[in-house]
Chain A
Amino acid sequence: MAKKNLADWLKSATTLEKQINEVILGQENPIRLILISIFARGHVLLEGDVGVGKTTMLRAVARGIGGGYERIEGTIDLMPNDLIYHTYLGDDGKPHVDKGPVLRSGEDLSIFFFNEINRARPQVHSLMLRIMAEKTLSAFNQEFHFPHLIVFADRNQVEKEETFEIPSAARDRFMMEIPIVIPNNDGLMTDLIFDTKFHNADELITKVKTDQLSFDQLNHVAAEIQENIDATKELEKYALNLWKATIKPQDYNIKISDIDISRLIVSGSSPRGISMMMKCARVNAWMNNRSSVLPEDIHQIFHETIAHRLVFNPVYDLRRTEISRELTTEIINKVSAH
């Protein structure tokens, strides 16, 4: 019964993926990774330039899975209470209190998009991180629950002024950090310029059918996926070696040009990070219609689930994006799976 249900879910997930790919051009891999994070029930940090379609992509996903979709813009003067409520003077001349973006959808909140999270202050980060970790919020003498919530946060890696870098402990709460880049394909780029259907995002996302995945059942499906997708001893050994390679890459003969590899890593992947990686690998195997995880399933999500957790020596941190990509590629190239 469970397997049949999973097969149906897979069909729905594949259909949704296809529809989103028709709406968002040239982002097949990020879309696949977002769907993996949805079925692995993990929060996602999106990294990319302005105007590459992150919001449209998330709106399309939110439409497909149903439930509440909320967003907030990170600014330097944003305070934690701005997420919870806002006050105003009503037509009746009396003060009113309305629920903020986090509380507005109540328990049905399925996707919360925190745009430019690194522009918000650390106080806001800590509230957000509590909501992410515990999926609860205390306000108005009441405990609010968000059982179906997945947070998508975005940060711009280029602009550093007036920003508050997310500390490594906070980064570790995110299951993935997904880079969103402009598609490197002349045909797709031309379509984005000249095909008018891509100019109106509101109308564009209506092509994605609503409530295809039933957000309120995703937790249950995610648990079933984790139970039903196997990982053999060989794969466990491989995952363990990958983890160890993130901690001491020099032990695996990993080399990066111009980098003293023995000084690069201050802290490797956390146990939470590697378990999140395996969770994603299982979902990826399921999305590839397999009942067991293969090394390739790990490879597809390795960089996105591990790179943002690694703490680099400050000397190398300025080149973090470039070095982390090289490091994860080298780890996959050097650690043997067999």
Chain B
Amino acid sequence: MLRFILLILIANLAFAFEDPKKYPDLDEKFYSLSITEPDQKVGYHVGDLVQRHIKLIVHEPYALIEESLPIVGYEKRFRGQLLGITLQDIDKKINKNELDLLLTYQIFTNNVVAKPAFVTADYYRVVNKRNSEEVLKLRIPELTIAVSPIAIFGDIKVQEDMSGLRGPILIEHQQYLNKIFISSAVFILSLCILLYIYTKFTILPGFKKTFLPLYRTLKKDKKIKLDEMIKSIHSQINNYSEMSIFEKNIKDLYLKNSSFKLIEKELVLFFKISNQKLFTKKMQESEEIRDWLIFFCFHLHLCEKNIPVKNADIKLIKI
């Protein structure tokens, strides 16, 4: 029993190494073959992919034996040596007697010796549908490319590779000029956006929006009372500094943003106005103070955006 199993295994193994060349050739009238080879023939490097498109139509009474098609991952040898080109992918479409194959090979050799890198010819088998004993072969020619730009054994001539479609290898400036042009445009656009962001009146969603909306509201709303104005300014100062700011701990505001130190005199005056209005009730509604508060609010906004407030712009009023 064991011998029988062994014999079967050996027979299968022998079939696996079956030489496809032993079959007779299929007459050309029974098939039509078109192969689209890659434009590039030379200058491949390790890792490059080479695609070969094969269209095959087998006419009646013959039919293609699918098992005879190349196998993904199989690396061919030539005269006992590995070719260094492996079939990486096979995209196969079979429609009745039409075969559409897209074979993708990957280069795995960088042999410095000038020699051709090629895929040896493949032999696909066909069978006669009426007589299954009749198995024939048809030859797919070898694909010849080179990993070196040098012409090799006369098989590949560099000058032949310089087709009109691909054009000669020239130092082309245009693409660099295009890149420079696009980069410059992006840079100028970014500058414009930055300038917009850092100008006095800018407001962007979620970006430093503490004092400017308040300034705009106070400027528009003429009916708002003085104490409400003061409270809303206090509220925004507290929000900005994340703590309750008084004249005594005003340094905490400077720690948050040292630009506020430039308007220290105005801040001190604001706290005086606030104390008088909210806690002593000595202050009456006053247009002058209203205007000053709006002006002060604008200065707070400038400080928030780190735009320096000049000493000459500091405005103080008597209360």
Interface, chain A (partner B; CB < 8 A): 230, 232, 234-235, 290-296, 299, 332-338
How many pairs of residues, A versus B, come closer than 8 Å at their CB atoms?
Answer: 47
Q: Inside 8 A of B134's CB, which chain A residues have their CB? A: none
Q: Which of A234, A291, A336 has the most CB of B within 10 A?
A: A336
A293 to B275, CA, bound (A): 9
Asked if B33 CB lies within 8 Å of chain A CBs, one says no
Is the Cβ of A333 less than 8 Å from the Cβ of B243? yes
Q: Inside 8 A of A336's CB, which chain B residues have their CB? A: 234-235, 238, 244
Asked if B249 CB lies within 8 Å of chain A CBs, one says yes
Is the Cβ of B246 less than 8 Å from the Cβ of A292? no
Is the Cβ of A338 less than 8 Å from the Cβ of B248? no
Is the Cβ of B249 less than 8 Å from the Cβ of A232? no
**Min C-beta distance of B240 to chain A, whole Å:** 13
Question: Which of B234, B244, B252 touches A335 (beta carbons < 8 Å)?
Answer: B244
**Min C-beta distance of A137 to chain B, whole Å:** 42
Which applies to chain B's interface (DSSP): helix, strand, loop or mixed? helix
**Min C-beta distance of A298 to chain B, whole Å:** 10
A301 to B274, CA, bound (A): 21
> Closest residue of chain B to A231, judged by CB?
B279
Q: Inside 8 A of B247's CB, which chain A residues have their CB? A: 296
**Min C-beta distance of B242 to chain A, whole Å:** 9
Is the Cβ of B248 less than 8 Å from the Cβ of A294? no
A230 to B279, CA, bound (A): 9
Asked if B230 CB lies within 8 Å of chain A CBs, one says yes
Is the Cβ of A294 less than 8 Å from the Cβ of B279? yes
Is the Cβ of B280 less than 8 Å from the Cβ of A292? yes
A63 to B234, CA, bound (A): 45
> Closest residue of chain A to B237, judged by CB?
A338
Q: Which of A299, A332, A335, A338 has the most CB of B within 10 A?
A: A338
Q: Inside 8 A of B234's CB, which chain A residues have their CB? A: 336-338
**Min C-beta distance of A304 to chain B, whole Å:** 16
A292 to B277, CA, bound (A): 11
Is the Cβ of B278 less than 8 Å from the Cβ of A334? no
A334 to B246, CA, bound (A): 11
**Min C-beta distance of B122 to chain A, whole Å:** 75
15 contacts between A and B (CB under 8 A): A230-B281, A232-B280, A234-B279, A292-B279, A294-B279, A295-B246, A296-B247, A333-B244, A333-B252, A334-B244, A336-B244, A337-B234, A338-B234, A338-B238, A338-B278
Asked if B231 CB lies within 8 Å of chain A CBs, one says yes
Is the Cβ of B274 less than 8 Å from the Cβ of A338? yes
Q: Inside 8 A of A294's CB, which chain B residues have their CB? A: 275, 279-280
User: With A338-B231, A338-B235 in contact, is A291–B244 under 8 Å at CB?
Assistant: no
Q: Which 5 A-B pairs have the closest CB atoms?
A: A338-B234, A292-B280, A333-B243, A234-B278, A336-B244
Q: Which of B234, B246, B275 has the most CB of A within 10 A?
A: B246
Interface, chain B (partner A; CB < 8 A): 230-231, 234-235, 238, 243-244, 246-249, 252, 274-275, 278-281
Q: Inside 8 A of A334's CB, which chain B residues have their CB? A: 243-244
Q: Inside 8 A of B235's CB, which chain A residues have their CB? A: 336, 338
> Closest residue of chain A to B276, judged by CB?
A292
Is the Cβ of B281 less than 8 Å from the Cβ of A333? no
A170 to B243, CA, bound (A): 34
A296 to B274, CA, bound (A): 12
> Closest residue of chain A to B231, judged by CB?
A338
User: With A333-B249, A335-B244, A337-B244 in contact, is A295–B280 under 8 Å at CB?
Assistant: no
A29 to B227, CA, bound (A): 33
> Closest residue of chain A to B248, judged by CB?
A296
> Closest residue of chain B to A332, judged by CB?
B244
User: With A336-B234, A336-B235, A336-B238 in contact, is A232–B243 under 8 Å at CB?
Assistant: no
Q: Which of B230, B231, B252, B278 has the most CB of A within 10 A?
A: B278
**Min C-beta distance of A281 to chain B, whole Å:** 11
Is the Cβ of A232 less than 8 Å from the Cβ of B279? yes
A294 to B280, CA, bound (A): 8
Q: Inside 8 A of A299's CB, which chain B residues have their CB? A: 246, 248
A27 to B218, CA, bound (A): 46
Is the Cβ of A293 less than 8 Å from the Cβ of B238? no
Q: Inside 8 A of A333's CB, which chain B residues have their CB? A: 243-244, 249, 252
User: With A333-B249, A336-B235, A338-B235 in contact, is A232–B244 under 8 Å at CB?
Assistant: no
Q: Inside 8 A of A234's CB, which chain B residues have their CB? A: 278-279
Q: Inside 8 A of B281's CB, which chain A residues have their CB? A: 230, 232, 292
A337 to B275, CA, bound (A): 10
Is the Cβ of A232 less than 8 Å from the Cβ of B246? no
A199 to B301, CA, bound (A): 56
A335 to B280, CA, bound (A): 20
Is the Cβ of B243 less than 8 Å from the Cβ of A295? no
Q: Inside 8 A of B243's CB, which chain A residues have their CB? A: 333-334
Q: Which of A235, A295, A332, A335 has the most CB of B within 10 A?
A: A295
A235 to B243, CA, bound (A): 18
Q: Inside 8 A of B252's CB, which chain A residues have their CB? A: 333
A295 to B238, CA, bound (A): 15
A332 to B244, CA, bound (A): 7
A294 to B235, CA, bound (A): 17
